[in-house]
Amino acid sequence: VGVVVRNQEDDLQDIIATPAMITVLEGTPNNQLQVTLKYQPVTTVNVAVATSDVNKVAANGGATTNLLFTTSNWNTPQTVVLTTPDDPDQIDRGAAELSITSPTLTTKTVAVTAEDDDVQSIVASVASIQVTEALTATFTVRLAHTPLAATETVTVTSGDTAIGTVSPASLSFNAANYDQPQTVTISGIDDVDLLTENFTITLDSDATATPNVDVAATVLDDDAQGLVITPTSVEVWEDQPGYNTATFNVRLLFSQNLTVNVASKDTGAATVSAPTLTFTTANYNVNQTITVTAVSDNDVRDESVEIEVSAEGVQTVSYTHLTL
């Protein structure tokens, strides 16, 4: 009598998906799901991976992707790349779910959290800017992303209003205009010195998470130093007490530490009281006096003597004093 023996298979096919929970960072296509079968199948098995909300997470770029497992590749992990659409806002897209299904097999689910990757920042069109005294220059400001609040306000501040001012004092951005550049105007302050000066423009958002941005500003000086001499001419008389001397004044046009040289071109006819005058930023606009003295000689000729007033980097001034 023959005995029939049946070997009853007790293994139940199953889908293996790892990991069971995934966080997907916006715009980053490196969040991967691995799928295999638990046992070798008798025939090809189609496994579908579907997302509950393609606007939150996509599977291989779409709402559904299909994986085929055969008797030879059943235990080789197949990769599903998960992405969440990149957008300009700063809001997490939230939770979604992946359903991993195949006919006759138990459906597996994977929880997915879609996180935003955007960090708000202030975008200035320049890192530094130059403007000439008494003139203006402009740059623009926008936000990198949609504000979290209905409105995000950026305050524009000059670090030294004696050097340069800015306008407007603030810029307002919202979801409709956050990426549209708004213009900031800087004005160089006209002053009496000869210095090129620097100050900082600070862009400060009322959103605490948005970092400040500084723009370095340089105000170029537009002044040229000059010597101011008054009066424009004097007369002195030889051997005439009370008339043999005369004075004129010298000052600077702009603030500067400067030594001014004073010289008679003919010391045999006239002399000056001081060869140099020292000016500082404190006294540049205060007259300093030079005395011209006539020198007595044996001729009867009227003499014209040139007095030269000069300083390094400044146009020399010469004018005539008469000695009679």
pLDDT of 89 over the 90 cut: no
pLDDT of 138 over the 80 cut: yes
Higher pLDDT, residue 29 or 312 = 312
pLDDT of 150 over the 80 cut: yes
Distance CA 159, CA 298 (A): 68
pLDDT tens sequence across 191-242: 988 889 999 999 999 999 899 999 999 999 998 899 999 998 888 988 888 8
Mean pLDDT of the chain: 90
CA atoms within 13 A on the CB side of 197: 21
Higher pLDDT, residue 120 or 159 = 159
Tell how far CA 190 is from the center of its chain.
24
pLDDT tens sequence across 30-88: 678 999 999 999 999 999 999 998 888 889 989 999 999 999 999 999 999 998 877 77
pLDDT of 91 over the 70 cut: no
pTM of the model: 0.66
Higher pLDDT, residue 53 or 172 = 172
Please provide residue 181's backbone torsions phi and psi, each rounded to the nearest 5 degrees. Answer: -60, 135
Q: What is the per-residue pLDDT for 6?
A: 56
Q: Which residues contact 300 (CB under 8 A, 6 or more apart)?
A: none
Higher pLDDT, residue 299 or 106 = 106
* Beta strand residue intervals within 15-168, DSSP E: 15-18, 21-25, 31-37, 45-51, 58-59, 64-69, 78-83, 94-101, 108-115, 122-124, 128-132, 136-143, 152-158, 164-167
Q: Can you read off the two tokens belonging to residue 19? A: 């990991």
pLDDT of 141 over the 90 cut: yes
